[in-house]
């Protein structure tokens, strides 16, 4: 794990630099490989909410070839795209529309095409991910974290955490509004080549500190850090005590 710590204005700059480096390394890797599938577009899955207000402007400022990146979503609320709660809508306003003709392909979660059925929407996106990724994992998943330790649409103690047979799970009863959501499963998230967690604000510190120091195993954040995805980087403005792993900022 790696910790990137800085005040929020500097953190945005570090996110921009990190994204540029990630895109450059992905491009170099694609040039070096003989696998046509690996040489295609890199995949990046976004979250939304308050975290999106931090990292979306940082991504927008990045000097990258967006034609080589395809965006997906780690979770979505069952609302219209123009609803303030929509994760896709937030990305559209803060990233896709400002980038205009340079904007990347965006594969949003298909809530409208499922006629209101979350289970059907989950199946549709699962199939779309399998097709788009060719059976590979996500190259990068950008996650926020709630004060309760939830990530994506996965909440502490919720049955969706145990649904690991698919890439996407339907949630009808989230413990916070809006209750109806789609989320990538924990199993699928853990397979990502890289996971970046953005945790900003003093109210995130207790759950972040507990997960980092591995003093509990109660929240999705705990599970994410303790089950160790291939590479996890935490970007935060909070001081994490006894952080013995690599750090920047």
pLDDT above 90 for 174 = yes
The percentage of residues in the chain with a pLDDT greater than 90, rounded to a whole number, is 74
| pTM score of the predicted model | 0.92
Does residue 77 lie in a domain region? yes
Nearest partner of 234 among 216, 211, 206, judged by Cα: 211
The DSSP secondary-structure symbol of 69 reads: E
For the chain, the domain total comes to 1
Does residue 248 lie in a domain region? no
28: confidence class by pLDDT, cuts 50, 70, 90? confident
Domain extent at residue 162: 2-30+39-242
CATH number at residue 149: 3.40.50.1360
Does residue 156 lie in a domain region? yes
**Which tokens go with 171?**
């949630």
CA dist 102 and 92 (Å) reads 13
Nearest partner of 159 among 104, 220, 80, judged by Cα: 220
Displacement of CA 126 from its chain's centroid (Å)? 16
**Which tokens go with 80?**
């219209």
pLDDT in tens, 203-233: 999 999 999 988 777 899 998 888 766 789 9
**What's the distance, Cα to Cα, between the start and end of the chain in Å?**
15
Element (H, E) at 27: helix 8-32
Mean confidence (pLDDT) of the chain: 90
Does residue 112 lie in a domain region? yes
Task: Report the relative pairing of strands 140-144 and 168-171 from DSSP bridges.
Answer: unpaired
pLDDT in tens, 75-111: 999 998 899 999 999 999 999 999 999 999 999 998 8
CA dist 70 and 41 (Å) reads 6
């Amino acid at each position: 794990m790696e910790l990137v710590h800085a005040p929020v204005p500097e953190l945005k700059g570090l996110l921009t630099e990190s994204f540029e480096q990630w895109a450059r390394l992905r491009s170099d890797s694609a040039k070096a490989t003989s696998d046509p599938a690996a040489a295609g577009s890199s995949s990046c899955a976004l979250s939304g909410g308050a975290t999106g207000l931090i990292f979306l402007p940082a991504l927008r400022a990045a000097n990258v070839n967006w034609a080589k990146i395809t965006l997906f979503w780690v979770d979505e609320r069952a609302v219209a795209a123009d609803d303030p709660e929509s994760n896709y809508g937030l990305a559209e306003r803060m990233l896709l529309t400002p980038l205009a003709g340079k904007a990347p392909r965006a594969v949003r979660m298909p809530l409208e095409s499922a006629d209101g059925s979350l289970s059907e929407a989950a199946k549709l996106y699962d199939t779309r991910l399998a097709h788009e990724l060719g059976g590979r994992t996500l190259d990068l998943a950008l996650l926020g974290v709630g004060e309760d330790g939830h990530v994506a649409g996965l909440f502490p103690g919720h049955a969706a955490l145990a649904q690991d047979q698919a890439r996407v799970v339907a949630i009808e009863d989230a413990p916070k509004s809006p209750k109806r959501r789609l989320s990538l499963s924990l199993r699928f998230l853990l397979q990502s080549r890289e996971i970046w967690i953005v945790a900003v604000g003093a109210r995130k510190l207790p759950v972040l500190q507990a997960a980092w120091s591995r003093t509990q195993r109660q929240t999705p954040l705990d599970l994410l850090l303790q089950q160790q995805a291939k590479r996890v980087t935490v970007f935060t403005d909070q001081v994490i005590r006894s952080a013995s792993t690599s750090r920047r900022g």
